[in-house]
Amino acid sequence: MRPTVWIFEDQLSHSLNALEEHPDAHVLLIESKKTWSMFPYHKARLGFLISAMRHFVAELTEAGHDVHHYPLKSRGYRDSIAALRHHIKQTKSTEFIVVRPSEWHTQAWLDTLSDLLGITIRYLPNRLFLVDRERFAKWAKSKKKLIMEFHYRQMRKDYDLLMDGDKPCGGEWNFDKQNRKPAKGADLTFRKPRSFKPDEITQVALADVEKHFGDHPGSLEHFAWPVSTKDAKAAWRDFLKHRLPLFGDYEDAMLDEERILYHAVTSPLINAGMLDPLAMCEDVEKAYRKGDVPINAAEGFIRQIVGWREFVYGIYWTYMPEYRTRNQRDVDASLPPFFWDGGTDMHCLHRTITDALEHAYGHHIQRLMVLSNFATLAGLSPQDVNDWFLAMFIDSHDWVMAPNVIGMGMNSDDDTIATKPYVSSANYIDKMSDYCGHCRYSPKKRTDDDACPFNFMYWTFLEDHREKLGKNPRMNMVLKNIDKFGDEQMQQMRDQRKQFVKLTMKGKDYEMWNRFPGRTVAEGQTNGPFDPKYDTF
């Protein structure tokens, strides 16, 4: 009896160890309407994953694999359980080979299936990530404080990336200080990333999204993502040649008319398994050693992969499912209505949210220093903010969003990832972008009707949390500035913050936000919007 290799939507790799070790097995892929209806996922995210799965099915079939594919609502199989029952009946296969899923809730659900369906599931390590979960957890639990930089350096050594013997290339491990140039005012030329016109498979996938998920947020109007293995590789080569050389310099910059700047825009591809993280890093190192890109660009990109990506994956698996519930400042404000339509006079937020609604994408500084910065200063619920990120971005998966939003973005994870909140006044946004020039608010004012809300929210936030923040030596200098304002100005900022928050939170919330089952069944549970007992698959 042949086993079945069961592949999930974030494992679309032809070098998947399950395929290599079991070339003659049945290969199973399931599109579950029930899964994707549980949460308000952006239409473009669903379109990308569905189209990528269908292209992968075609590629596997052409390569000679015995593929069993259950597209959306095929023959009435709207969920994974029904599809699995049909597959077992059709093939008589009861042994399933599964590469360990990237997300906690998927693993928890899989653990219920042996008894439910009378099958055996044999797990293989997930080689789509470079970090070993068990090894990371052992390392993490031996430390009083987890420092990404130290983990990053070890990964560089382990995989011999940008190393000259036992020393880092360029004499330094980290060139982040060279990666903070603002782009406004600079004489720069931007080459747009390659776009990919939807082929017939993608057109049908997008039509299916509109048919089955028409009430989800976002737009498919601008959909031009690579969805095949061939196109994913073409998109990667395009970045290496045209944008990597200046990626480092302008990694933290933001421009109103340039969404991408010099970013790779490959996060959805690597997170879906379509690009190999180690091969990407090796390509970048080759470009550096050939003299095609400077060290700060090469090191900056590699740090994003073997440093940050692998670190947050390790954090996720070490501390889930409890991690998702963390809220160290005990804040619970709901998302402002403008998170669903971009309707705010704060231009940086308007631009970032509008881009997300239209394209399901925003680069890391928009996410960290605009969206998460605002969410932290406004006291929004970390769980609501995390769920919005999970719903809205094309590269979202639970393992990447929870540590990045609850941890790095909002510093709500009991200081596991960061030792201080990543918050700023309008000064940072004005320095690193041209957003403020398009805004009715002044980045220079802390009070008055045209004062940027980032200013009075920032200083009152610091005052509210001064006792704890004062224990961090890195915060002492900025905290001393509060004393310079005087009681009267601080009171004015507190009053303005109170009025702004009252007006900002006023209005109708996204009407579908709390209608999705994944947003309601898990209230008070430890696993956020996912729980295997609700059969969400």
> How far apart are alpha carbons 485 and 139 in whole angstroms?
45
Q: Which long-range contacts (CB under 8 A, 24 or more apart) does 168-175 make?
A: 169/288, 169/295, 169/298, 169/299, 170/295, 170/299, 173/149, 173/299, 174/149, 174/299, 174/303, 175/248, 175/295, 175/296, 175/299, 175/300
Mean pLDDT value across the chain = 93
pLDDT of 523 > 50? The answer is: no
Q: What is the pLDDT of residues 379-435, one digit of tens each?
A: 999 999 999 999 999 999 999 999 999 999 999 999 999 888 999 999 999 999 999
3-class SS of residue 47: helix
pLDDT of 531 > 80? The answer is: no
What pLDDT score was predicted for residue 520?
Answer: 59
pLDDT of 281 > 80? The answer is: yes
What tokens appear for 129 in the block?
């990530």
> How far apart are alpha carbons 426 and 450 in whole angstroms?
12
H-assigned helices in 131-266: 133-141, 148-159, 200-212, 229-242, 244-247
What pLDDT score was predicted for residue 534?
Answer: 45
CA nearest neighbour of 27 among 87, 86, 101, 105? 87
Instruction: Tell me the average pLDDT across 351-368.
Output: 97
3-class SS of residue 120: strand
- In the chain, the percentage of residues whose pLDDT exceeds 90 is 87
Q: What is the pLDDT of residues 503-519, one digit of tens each?
A: 887 766 677 777 787 77
Instruction: Tell me the average pLDDT across 282-298.
Output: 98
Instruction: Tell me the average pLDDT across 436-445.
Output: 97
∠ CA 180-185-190 to the nearest 5 degrees? 75
pLDDT of 122 > 60? The answer is: yes
Buried b (16+ CB within 10 A) or exposed e, 160-191: ebbeeeeebbbeebbbbebbebbbbeeebebe
pLDDT of 24 > 60? The answer is: yes
- In the chain, the percentage of residues whose pLDDT exceeds 70 is 96
Residue 536 binned pLDDT confidence (cut-offs 50, 70, 90): low
Instruction: Tell me the average pLDDT across 466-478.
Output: 90
Contact 319, 369 (CB under 8 A): no
Which amino acid, 501?
V
Residue 73 binned pLDDT confidence (cut-offs 50, 70, 90): confident
What tokens appear for 229 in the block?
């293995």
| Residue with the larger pLDDT of the pair 516 and 206 | 206
Q: What is the pLDDT of residues 134-165, one digit of tens each?
A: 999 999 989 888 999 999 999 999 999 999 99
The mean-pLDDT minimum among 48-57, 74-83, 164-173, 470-479 falls in: 74-83
What tokens appear for 28 in the block?
């199973």
What tokens appear for 449 in the block?
């009707």
Instruction: Estimate the crossing angle of helix 476-504 against helix 453-464, to 10 degrees.
Output: 120
Instruction: Tell me the average pLDDT across 67-82.
Output: 86
pLDDT of 319 > 90? The answer is: yes
> How far apart are alpha carbons 123 and 473 in whole angstroms?
46
Q: What is the pLDDT of residues 246-267, one digit of tens each?
A: 999 999 999 999 999 999 999 9
Instruction: Tell me the average pLDDT across 176-182.
Output: 94
What tokens appear for 288 in the block?
């550096």
What tokens appear for 194 in the block?
């390659």
Instruction: Tell me the average pLDDT across 450-454.
Output: 97
What pLDDT score was predicted for residue 527?
Answer: 39
